[in-house]
């Protein structure tokens, strides 16, 4: 796997209930609305610490698109196929093309919590990553973020361990991170 393969990756995915698209300016309103209504649950997300307007969300979506176009990451905004309602954002980032591996990130809209939609979206993105040739996809979650820890397990990831005092949380405190990973059965 290499950067060119990532650049040529699909920009649109579909699952049973969802359409996943690479971000563009047209997503900005939905992204801002979702972030603002979901703020109480975004304590562990650096960019989710304050209300945002549509202009910020447009810059955010366009920057995501730019990173995808440059082959730095894959980012998808997930929408319900039936209604077009925004479900969340999933990204594959921090690629090591030689290994080949990356990290997954996900932030869901609180309106859809508990319905399995973010799980469906994340699994679709993981499947796409494995189809591109990734051998491993891992997730790092703040050890205090019980929802994220449970979510990684729901994705079929294996808890590999705790990285003590690994990084600073959005409030600036050093925190422990838990590493989860899923390996591509075709590559192992």
Taking the domain 3-134, which CATH number applies? 3.40.630.30
Strand order in the sheet with 74-80: 12-14, 18-21, 74-80, 86-96, 101-108, 136-142, 174-183, 158-168
CA distance 132 to 143: 30
- Give the residue extent of every domain in the chain: 3-134
116 φψ region: left (φ > 0), alpha (ψ -120 to 50), beta (else): left
pLDDT tens per residue, range 27-66: 999 999 999 999 888 888 888 888 999 999 999 999 999 9
Provide, rounded to the nearest whole percent, the portion of the chain with pLDDT above 70.
Answer: 99
Sequence-ordered list of residues with C-beta below 8 angstroms from that of 100, at least 6 positions apart, any chain? 1, 133, 134, 135, 136
Examine the pLDDT at 117 and tell me if it is beyond 90: yes
pLDDT tens per residue, range 134-188: 999 999 999 999 999 999 999 999 999 999 999 999 889 999 999 999 999 887 6
């Amino acid at each position: 796997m290499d950067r060119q393969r990532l650049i040529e990756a699909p920009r649109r995915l579909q699952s049973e209930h969802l359409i996943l698209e690479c971000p563009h300016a047209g997503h900005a309103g939905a992204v801002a609305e979702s972030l603002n209504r979901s703020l109480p649950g975004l304590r562990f997300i650096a960019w989710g610490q304050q209300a945002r307007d549509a202009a910020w969300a447009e810059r955010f979506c366009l920057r995501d698109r730019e990173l995808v176009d440059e082959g730095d990451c894959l980012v998808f905004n997930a929408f319900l196929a039936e209604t077009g309602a925004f479900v969340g954002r999933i990204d594959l980032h921090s690629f090591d093309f030689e290994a080949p591996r990356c990290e997954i990130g996900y932030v869901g809209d609180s309106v859809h919590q508990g319905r399995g939609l973010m799980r469906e979206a994340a699994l679709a993105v993981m499947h796409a990553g494995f189809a591109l040739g990734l051998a491993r996809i891992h997730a790092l979650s703040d050890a205090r973020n019980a929802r994220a820890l449970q979510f990684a397990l729901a994705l079929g990831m294996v808890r590999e361990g705790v990285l003590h005092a690994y990084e600073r949380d959005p409030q600036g405190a050093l925190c422990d991170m838990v590493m989860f990973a899923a390996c591509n059965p075709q590559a192992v």
